[in-house]
Amino acid sequence: MPPYLIASDLDGTLLDAEHRVAALTRETLAQLVARGHTLALASGRHHLDIAEIRRQLELPAWIISSNGACVFDADDRVVSERLVPQALVEALVALPRPASVRLNLYTRERWLIDAEAPALLPLHAMTGFTYQVDDLRDLSQAAVSKVLYIGEPSLLAPLERTLRERYGEALHITYSAANSLEVMQRGVDKGSALAQMLAALALPASQALAFGDNFNDVEMLTLAGNAFVVANAHPEVIARLPRAERIGAHHEAAVAHTLRRFFALD
C-alpha cells in the first residue's frame, strides 16, 4: 500500500469522552506510523496543547493548530503561520459581547482569556495546558493566531451575525463546538493546512484520510480523498458532506476501528 497522510481532529473525534487517547487508538496509530504513513493532529487547540498530546502518543506527527493558522512538521519546524492582523484583533477585543461570553486569544506561546472559566479546565486536563487571565487591552506585541468566544450558543448566534456582517470578507469564522465561536485570518482553515501538508509530502489528495466532527473540519473533510465523519458529528456537518463516510462515535474509538479496516490491520 502506498503511503497515506492520516489527519484527524482531536476533541469529539480522535479523543474519547474524557478527552484522552484510547489504548486501541494509540496502538493503531503506532502500527500505521511504523508502516510509513504520516500522522497529522488537526485541531482548534493551541499548538503547545497538541504537542503534549503528541508527546504522550510517543509518535512523530505533524500539527495543524488554531484550525490551520499554524502548521508544524513532525520535528516542530514551523511550516506556516498566518496571524490575525493586529487591527482586526483590536476590533474583535473591543466588540461588545454578553458578560458571560469569554473572550480568548491564542498567541504563539499563550492562551489568554478575559476572566476565569473553570468549566474549560477538564478539556485540557490530559495536557495541563491552560489559560492565563489578562485584560486583553494591551496587545501591541501579541502575535494572535486565533480569537475565540466561548459561551451559550444562544448568546453566540447574534455575535456571529455581527462578525460576519462586519468582518466576513477579512476573517474566517467557524465553530469547533456549539459553545466555541472561532475567528482566524481569511483563508485559514484545516483544509488549506492539509493542502500544504500534501504538497510538502508530494502526496495527492486521494492518499489522504481525514476524520472530523464539527464545522471547523468541513474544509479538511472536503479536500481529503477519504473523508470520515463520526456518528456524534454535528448533523449539519454530516449533511454538508454527503461524500464522507459516517463511522462510529468518538467514545467508541471509531477512528481506530476505521483505520484498522482501511489498512487491513485486523
Q: Which residues are catalytic?
A: 9
Distances in Å between the Cα of 155 and the Cα atoms of 103, 104, 149, 167 are: 13, 16, 10, 18
Q: Which residues of 79-110 are buried (b: 16+ CB within 10 A; e: fewer)?
A: bbbbbbeeebbbbbbebebeeebbbbbbbeee
- φ/ψ region of 202 (left if φ > 0, alpha if ψ in -120 to 50, else beta) reads left
Helix or strand run (H / E) with residue 38: strand 38-42
Handedness of CA 94, 164, 108, 233 (dihedral sign): positive
| Side chain identity, residue 105 | L
Q: Any idea what DSSP says for residue 81?
A: E
Q: Are 264 and 34 in contact (CB under 8 A)?
A: no
Is residue 63 within 8 Å of residue 72, measured between CB atoms?
yes
Provide the grid cell at 118.
Answer: 473553570
